[in-house]
């Protein structure tokens, strides 16, 4: 194991090098360009055996990777924002064909207006494509999750994207512990593919016309695979923890055992929120945090267990719900807890859009708002944190 200072972009590129995928097809987009730029240098230097395919768009990158996966290759790419949006059509195809594939995704806002900084609107836009989604808090998690995602996709036969927040993580140096190359290879094992269109002994048709006769059944099967993927993820997370000492779960509970007020969120803001929880705990406040690692598949049972003692919950979304009942994470939390015997009071907060800084004071305000509700004050169900109204 080696200790190094790496940005999330560098950490993800190093993970890709150690994985040594068969094919990487990519097109540059800020702020994820550096991932495949660094990886292309690994290719040029002969450090990997990967076939690197520079293409004319992100749509083409996803298409080339999907075709390679259908041929039995281990495939990866990287993208962000509008690039991920341009992949949308192909993402449905990859998942529908039950193909393993990993995207190193840097979470960046979608236009308009044009903005290259962080929020989660790009991944939320793709949340129902059939891809598993993981969110990293720091560069260490980005590195670890990319390695684990390869094994998860090849056991679940579903694709996955690992998301790290733009610039906050992608371009900020952090200390990480890198595994030995051989240990990574031993952990991920030989590539597992559900089928290969190049297997002439078992000829198949991929992507046929599928109308009223079987389309419904195929989508139902895909949806079941996503539901079952939770067990696969937990198994891989457990194996990774036993081998390397860093244990992951579908969610992370932070000081939730007796928490009366709790915040739920994803991504890099969790680090700041933990500091706020520690400060309030030192003052005798019963507060806690739930960080969601896996947004897809959605971990209903784990969320409900983590929040079973919380009476007042603030859900922080780094994406706008655009006139839905609330933003995406908020509505998932509300739905998860709907059938529970004890229904907590839940409020949504949209924050950090377009890279707006989120301070400890902002997060403390959420806890303060929940305390006011506890004392009888009314609060809007959906709120905006840190915006100039």
Q: Please give the average pLDDT of every successive group of 10 residues along the chain, which has 389 residues.
A: 96 98 98 98 98 98 98 98 98 97 98 97 98 98 98 98 98 98 98 94 89 95 98 98 97 98 98 98 98 98 97 98 94 95 93 97 98 96 94
Q: What is the pLDDT at residue 270?
A: 98
Give the whole-angstrom CA distance, residue 100 versus residue 293. Answer: 19
235 Rama class: left (phi>0) / alpha (psi -120 to 50) / beta: alpha
CB-based contacts of 191: which residues, under 8 Å, 6+ apart? 22, 72, 73, 74, 154
Helix 215-244 vs helix 88-96: angle between axes, to the nearest 10 degrees? 90
pLDDT the model gives residue 207: 81
Asked if residue 128 lies in contact with residue 70, where contact means CB atoms within 8 angstroms, the answer is no
End-to-end CA distance of the chain, in Å? 49
Helices and strands: H and E segment counts in the chain: 13, 15
For residue 23, which of 42, 59, 50 has the smallest C-alpha distance?
50
Residues 64, 89: contact at Cβ < 8 Å? Answer: no
CB atoms within 10 A of CB 355: 18
Question: What is the length of the chain?
Answer: 389
d(CA 325, CA 360): 27
pLDDT computed for residue 205 by the predictor: 87
Q: What domains does the chain contain, in order, with CATH numbers?
A: 2-244 (3.40.50.970), 251-385 (3.40.50.920)
Q: What is the CA radius of gyration of the chain?
A: 21
Number of Cβ atoms within 10 Å of the Cβ of 112: 6
Place of tokens 């932070």: 254
- The distance of Cα 184 from the centroid of its chain, to the nearest Å, equals 21
- The helix (run of H) or strand (run of E) holding residue 208 is none
Token pair 């006769």: residue:
213
Cβ 385 vs Cβ 314: under 8 Å:
no
């Amino acid at each position: 194991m080696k200790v190094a200072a790496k940005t999330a972009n560098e950490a993800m590129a190093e993970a890709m090098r150690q994985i040594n995928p068969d094919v990487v097809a990519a097109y540059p987009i800020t702020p994820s360009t550096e991932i495949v730029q660094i990886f292309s240098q690994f290719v040029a230097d002969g450090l990997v055996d990967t076939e690197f395919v520079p293409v004319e768009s992100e749509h083409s990158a996803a298409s080339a990777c999907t075709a390679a996966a259908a041929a039995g290759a281990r495939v990866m790419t990287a993208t962000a924002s509008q690039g991920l949006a341009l992949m949308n059509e192909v993402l449905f195809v990859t998942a529908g064909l039950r193909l393993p594939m990993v995207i190193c995704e840097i979470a960046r806002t979608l236009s308009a207006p044009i903005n290259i900084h962080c929020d989660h609107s790009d991944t939320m836009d793709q949340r129902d494509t059939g891809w598993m989604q993981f969110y990293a808090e720091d560069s260490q998690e980005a590195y670890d999750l990319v390695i684990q995602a390869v094994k998860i996709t090849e056991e679940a036969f579903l694709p996955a994207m690992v998301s790290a927040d733009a610039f906050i993580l992608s371009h900020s140096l952090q200390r990480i512990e890198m595994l030995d190359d051989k240990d990574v290879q031993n952990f991920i094992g030989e590539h597992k593919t559900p089928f290969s269109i190049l297997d002439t002994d078992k000829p198949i048709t991929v992507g046929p016309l599928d109308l009223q006769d079987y389309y419904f059944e195929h989508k139902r099967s895909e949806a079941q695979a996503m539901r079952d993927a939770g067990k696969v993820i937990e198994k891989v997370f457990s194996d990774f923890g036993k081998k390397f000492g860093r244990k992951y779960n579908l969610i992370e509970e932070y000081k939730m055992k007796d928490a009366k007020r709790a915040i739920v969120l994803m991504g890099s803001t969790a680090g700041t929120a933990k500091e706020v929880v520690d400060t309030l705990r030192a003052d005798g406040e019963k507060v806690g945090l739930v960080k969601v690692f896996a947004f897809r598949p959605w971990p209903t049972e784990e969320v409900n267990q983590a929040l079973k003692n919380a009476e007042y919950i603030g859900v922080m979304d780094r994406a706008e719900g655009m006139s839905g009942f609330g933003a995406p994470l908020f509505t998932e939390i509300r739905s998860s807890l709907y059938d529970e015997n004890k229904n907590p009071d839940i409020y949504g907060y949209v924050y950090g859009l377009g890279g707006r800084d989120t301070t400890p004071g902002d997060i403390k305000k959420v806890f303060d708002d929940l305390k006011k509700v506890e004392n009888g004050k009314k609060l809007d169900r959906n709120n905006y944190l840190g915006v100039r109204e």
